Structure 1
């Protein structure tokens, strides 16, 4: 073998290991080019077989047809040198199944050309001794697509009676095709049945089950099975959204959103996938479906009152051949009209070729869907509020808004302050220039600060404040920075400075004390400054110094006292809006630290409301909304958190700043709110962004771990197992053995739930080995040993107790009371299962004592229930009753556990002949 041939075959190996997509496509193109350069036709044949498959999977019809035609010519000329089947390169006869579909997808190809391909396919199959199933399916698909419904129905029945062979469509594809045919011909119950069979059986293929799930959406809506339709939509879209060849699947999902009151999501999907129309110029059939679906959705957007919303991407240059060139984005209503027109043109072209009106009738059925509506709310974003023109404000309002922006510290504060200076009177100019100078000095804009200082000095003199004007003119803009040495020198040089200037200098010094953790000095300086401002009647500065006292209390780890200060300030009506925003944000974080996240969320949301009232920058609004969402999430108000994250995302996206962190929070909140399918979609977006940004593997591992939990909640077990595996691998890359062990334990728990006991034990054994390499995380080793012991006990292994005892040794050495109690409870269960009754009971009661000591009364009750049942099963009823009495007391407030204990206690008392006590206990049971 030549060196060139060796390098090409090495490239083939890499191609065969690479998933479909841009990288795989580039590798295939390189292989074809290298084979052509080498002059080896056999190598080129192998490369082009791969190219045909690649082009089919990514939706490049032109390349697929060209590549296939070249390979077919080589095969027909020399079948021995160029065999039809050449694994893993490809199978020419299998690829034949794609050709008729490719031709019928474009009206540029005549019916005669399509028939010739079908005849040629049958001839090649017959010559190769292949059964008729594959060719018959191709004829069925052609008849159905061309609107020859009776012919298609007859072929479908023949297919069901035809024996399957190696060239038959796979189970997933057959079910999906028949499901789509049934949906079009009014047998929607059969559509649902077939798709449910696919889902329950786990049937998959290249575009399945996402295509079948999409086909079932409308039948499910019409059958009133709305929750199932919602779940199918979210899963179908998530699986289809990365491949432009899935345009018709996206179209079905867009229709679903349009019919279910989710017009904003429909618009979002149109914007995301509009450019896909330019992906495959020969797939006009998909274009018709997509244009019609997009038009239907945009009409729904218009009826919802948002027809003037610009559709992002509608001005893309690549869409010019389809929508016409334009410099500005089209409004939703305008794009709807264009989409209907394009769909009509394509349908007419197909009908001219096919000699009927089948495509026009399909288009009319899509138009008629606007009369159908189903209420299927999704946790999706609403329409972004259009950017309103700034309302006209009078001078007083402009001044107050500038002061709000300055207090909040937004980037636009400087411009807002400068904008009102010329119109303000001398008193307001003094206040405004103070804020403006501080902002300019903070940004090191010293030249601008010098000019503003001149205007400030002039305003001070106009008010008769020559004493302060003289000092500020002498000291310059540095007086308005945070340099405490400047402040001290000024105080020393001017002991008789005006009270308000002395207060300002003391404030600077107080901040320096706070930064350097000299908290008593900070408190003393801030109080002296506050008293001076109060005597001068400067309410805002008085409030600012009181706020500073709260900061000092927080730094001193006195959150309750800080909260008292903030509560008192916020109760005053005279607090300025900007100051109130900062107070609310600070109080929100303190409330959360003190275990009141719901109250904190209320404060953050109120801060966001005030920011919106004053048209403050989107970044500041997003920060407040994000904090409110995080605190609502911690308070268990997950729907509220989802809403907060969504609006925060809209606001932050408007600034052009990164939103990955917010998106992660949204995914987490969606999962907690019981929307796992949508959570998967969002978390997957986060992972794509992190991967593209080459984020650290440890960071990506956290994201994939959250994705794994979402897959579990969505009952997508295979995806969940794979995600946990990837999480563990990323933690290896990040050199985080304890976290790797944690991911492996999670994977093993899922394997156990699925009945895969041997693989669970194997995975947990690996987790224990990983945990042993991290001596700083002994708790993780104990957890892994605990899980391994449980899995081994479930399987009946003799060494389960040895694993548990090692974990107990760690827990006792680390004085981890709760862990020890939990391990003792598990030990009791294992011992009870092996007939070691006295030891089991003793361990269960020790576990109960441990839980009680750690504050876990309900857990103690559960361990006591375990001990009682072990005693009961060995006829030790008297002892069991005594333990159950104690358990009943400890289960107070845990209704399900309490009732289980009450039932057992009543039975035990009845067995002991204590009927009155039994009746009394049973009277506590709920009916």
Structure 2
């Protein structure tokens, strides 16, 4: 709070603003400041409201020690001035006796006698006020359950009574009944009691999140795993980072530990690490710590005790050290409660939770399943495993590596990796073998391999430098042919290096590749006595340069030179029986046909190549050929054939080292094929697999882009909780939190999450995220259009919440950004929707504000018309006229509404044969008839309008669109 309120009106507005904030220290501190300010007015009613807000902040901010103190002040005010408490305030006061009872139970330092004394106070107060005692008996039962004694009798005394005005809500009482059956070991009866809450039929401030956390394990034990999975995702979101629901968070961690999702559990623990310090309720902390210990003990038992873990502030923790600290603190808390209560209930419950065995070996909870190995610090990348055992002696290993390298065999990389280890080891003695050559030759080989790996990482500048260094060593070793080839590789790598001053400018890239080709030709022509394998690789570089230029430029005139060079390579490789280079030439030829747009010829080439490779090899080229064929088949619209080719390619790729074929791209292409085949769930699996493979390879931008597509697809499929859980997992990645990932990509992830929250009816969270994104995107000077989109969506959400002042501010931002980078349809849609919302929610009182939104929409439509913009759907002018009609009808301006709707009908024109257009026309005609026949009470005229519309629609074959009109006619006749 920047400045204290100066009037009671300002105080009430500040209280309303604070009520919009999530529970936590920010809201609590502001509530404390407002309570202090309220005292200065010297009026009891404002003070009562401020104290009620403060007690709520303490209660749901997990500060139970402070809640009873505030309530005592409220009770004193009631005793001194009962008349200032109206019916609503009086209800609030007596309701909160239960809050105090809950707070006192959660503090082990409060004697048991004091707990019973408070219950007596509550009973006496209720009886004196003539209130029903069912809430008192509810609190008596909860105390008995807490202590672990006489629960059956206390339950009957409470559960058998009729609910009253001050009873806990249906959802909370349902949870208490279910927990009673759960404590008795009756999972089925507990779940039966929980059914209305778990199904979303009953809810409140803490429900269904509280019930869900308790129901997860019973659901597993009764075989309802899919339901448990879904409720974990939705329920966890309802309690994450919430101090008043720390126990619920602990039970979600426990659920992860018992379903083979230990890695997700550690991720969720990290997300909630602030709870260790924020939770001031010993009872809630005990619940949280026990769940944390179940998780950590499981991770430690699996041999990962040294993994880092998020724990108490002030030091770094491993799983093992944190588990020991958590166990010490939780044992102490359980012992303190048992000492206060005179039972062993809390130690017993805690011991039972810790003794649980896993319920499932594995349950896929999210679209991003991870193992404990995935959260461990990344070790150095292991050398690729070869198909055959590597030779032991250095000489044989060198010979094998060079032989495989000449063939282009994938196992060459494993040989070079092993040789790198051998040469760098202390005491290495190079073989005295003329066939092997000098050490300087081997060092050149290893540098060249390092350059190849750098190229695969797109580190072209590094690769070029390494190739040049290798070339010098090859000359020193007396192998000029290899030196020429290394220099040629350096030329092509340098041509692919993005210019430092201009980013990866397309024209600069094309120019560099254009210059590279003659340089490669000169190197080739000036070289003498090249071995066939080296000359073929030089020819391969020449055609690659032209192919890359074609790819970068898209210029069809560049196709012929590529084919010419490809034929040179193919003929040379055929004469010298270089099977790997023959396959490479054919692959380049098929790719070039595809890039030129001649897909049928490209497919024929790819088919022939696949058959040739099946028959004669080399087999390691087959996955890449199948991948190309699948892409071509997809381009030709044969998704079934594409799916078969890509699936086979992926299966065969698994037989070779991981870098033989681009598996992430294969999965991505399979996802496209699956979408074309109407198999979106399978597509989703391939997208997430593609992203995870990229992530493991260090390609983080590509991975996050693919995950973004997966999140959007899951949202499109209605898998809202999967979408949110996936994005939550990505947004806590270290480089995202540290701001090291591309900010626009992160913004896209957050935008999709905000839309998913909206789809999941979590409007408060969605609005907060949209508002934050709108504020951030306001600074995107280079992209005002995206800001216009985000601000427009934010405005609509604020309108749905009835906050039209803030909605006006947001849509004004959208309009300002739209003026710089037009988004006609999007901004018009938002303005019209805001007008409808305000008129619908506020009626005649909202008409002025609604018309202001429509006036802005009218200006946008004028701009669009002047710019020649055409909307994807109905025109902006007809949509605007229709909205004027709706707004007028909601606001009671019926004649104006009817005129607007008739204008909309004129703009729409005849229904025509298009079903969508006919449906729009029919809806406009129906609303006009409603205004005329219902609100203006001109039923005969309205019936005539309807009859003509139905006749027109029926004649055009739009019987379904006419049905609402027919139903309206029947209603109007019934009312005559």
Normalised by the size of structure 1, how large is the TM-score?
0.67
| Contact 1:75/1:84 (8 A) holds in 2 | no
Return closer, same or farther for 1:350/1:474 CA change in 2, 3 Å cut-off: closer
CA distance in 1, matches of 2:187, 2:483: 87
* Residue 559 (structure 1) shift: 2.9
* Residue 177 (structure 1) shift: 3.0
* Residue 531 (structure 1) shift: 1.6
Return closer, same or farther for 1:390/1:147 CA change in 2, 3 Å cut-off: farther
Return closer, same or farther for 1:668/1:676 CA change in 2, 3 Å cut-off: same
* Residue 223 (structure 1) shift: 6.6
CA distance in 1, matches of 2:75, 2:403: 81
* Residue 307 (structure 1) shift: 1.8
| Residue in structure 1 matched with residue 182 of structure 2 by the alignment | 183
CA distance in 1, matches of 2:473, 2:266: 50
| Residue in structure 2 matched with residue 454 of structure 1 by the alignment | 472
- Say whether 1:58 aligns with 2:88: no
Return closer, same or farther for 1:378/1:485 CA change in 2, 3 Å cut-off: closer
| Residue in structure 2 matched with residue 636 of structure 1 by the alignment | 678
* Residue 105 (structure 1) shift: 2.3
Q: 2:283 aligns with which of 276, 282, 285?
A: 285
* Residue 675 (structure 1) shift: 4.8
Which runs of 5 or more structure 2 residues have no equivalent in the other structure?
A: 391-396, 424-429, 496-511, 529-534, 770-792, 801-806, 838-842, 930-941, 971-976
Which runs of 5 or more structure 1 residues have no equivalent in the other structure?
A: 751-755, 849-861, 874-927
| Contact 1:645/1:662 (8 A) holds in 2 | yes
| Contact 2:262/2:299 (8 A) holds in 1 | yes
CA distance in 2, matches of 1:315, 1:405: 47
CA distance in 1, matches of 2:646, 2:232: 34
- Say whether 1:554 aligns with 2:594: yes
* Residue 22 (structure 1) shift: 6.7
| Contact 2:471/2:482 (8 A) holds in 1 | no
Return closer, same or farther for 1:508/1:660 CA change in 2, 3 Å cut-off: closer
Q: 2:872 aligns with which of 768, 779, 796?
A: 779
Superposition map of 1:733-748 within 5 A: 733=814, 735=818, 736-739=823-826
| Residue in structure 2 matched with residue 307 of structure 1 by the alignment | 302
Deviations 1:602-639 (A, max 9, x none): 55556656666555479965454344335434433233
Q: Quote the RMSD (CA, aligned, Å).
A: 6.4
* Residue 534 (structure 1) shift: 3.6
| Contact 2:290/2:330 (8 A) holds in 1 | yes
CA distance in 1, matches of 2:669, 2:834: 32
Superposition map of 1:755-904 within 5 A: 772=861, 774-775=864-865, 776-781=869-874, 802=902, 805-806=905-906, 808-809=908-909, 819-820=916-917, 840=950, 843-844=953-954, 846-847=956-957
CA distance in 2, matches of 1:805, 1:370: 68
| Contact 1:310/1:329 (8 A) holds in 2 | yes
Return closer, same or farther for 1:83/1:611 CA change in 2, 3 Å cut-off: farther
| Residue in structure 2 matched with residue 143 of structure 1 by the alignment | 144
* Residue 141 (structure 1) shift: 2.1
CA distance in 2, matches of 1:742, 1:148: 61
| Residue in structure 2 matched with residue 359 of structure 1 by the alignment | 346
* Residue 246 (structure 1) shift: 1.7
- Say whether 1:350 aligns with 2:337: yes
CA distance in 2, matches of 1:257, 1:810: 59
SS in 2 for 1:778: coil
* Residue 207 (structure 1) shift: 0.8
CA distance in 2, matches of 1:205, 1:623: 46
Return closer, same or farther for 1:526/1:746 CA change in 2, 3 Å cut-off: farther
Most deviating of 237-246 and 473-482: 473-482
Superposition map of 1:98-497 within 5 A: 98-119=99-120, 135-150=136-151, 153=154, 156-157=157-158, 160-161=161-162, 163-165=164-166, 168-185=167-184, 191-192=190-191, 194-198=193-197, 202-217=201-216, 231-253=230-252, 263=261, 267=265, 271=269, 275=273, 278-280=276-278, 282-293=280-291, 307-309=302-304, 314=309, 316-318=311-313, 326=317, 328-330=318-320, 346-363=333-350, 366=353, 370=357, 382-384=369-371, 386=373, 390=383, 393=386, 394=390, 395=397, 442-443=460-461, 447-458=465-476, 461-462=478-479, 466=480, 477-478=490-491, 481-482=494-495, 483=512, 484-485=514-515, 487-488=517-518, 491=521, 497=527
Normalised by the size of structure 2, how large is the TM-score?
0.64
Most deviating of 689-698 and 388-397: 689-698
CA distance in 1, matches of 2:880, 2:96: 49
* Residue 145 (structure 1) shift: 1.0
SS in 1 for 2:565: helix
Return closer, same or farther for 1:34/1:617 CA change in 2, 3 Å cut-off: farther
* Residue 702 (structure 1) shift: 5.5
CA distance in 2, matches of 1:456, 1:72: 88
Return closer, same or farther for 1:295/1:509 CA change in 2, 3 Å cut-off: closer
CA distance in 2, matches of 1:402, 1:46: 80
| Contact 1:684/1:707 (8 A) holds in 2 | no
* Residue 642 (structure 1) shift: 3.5
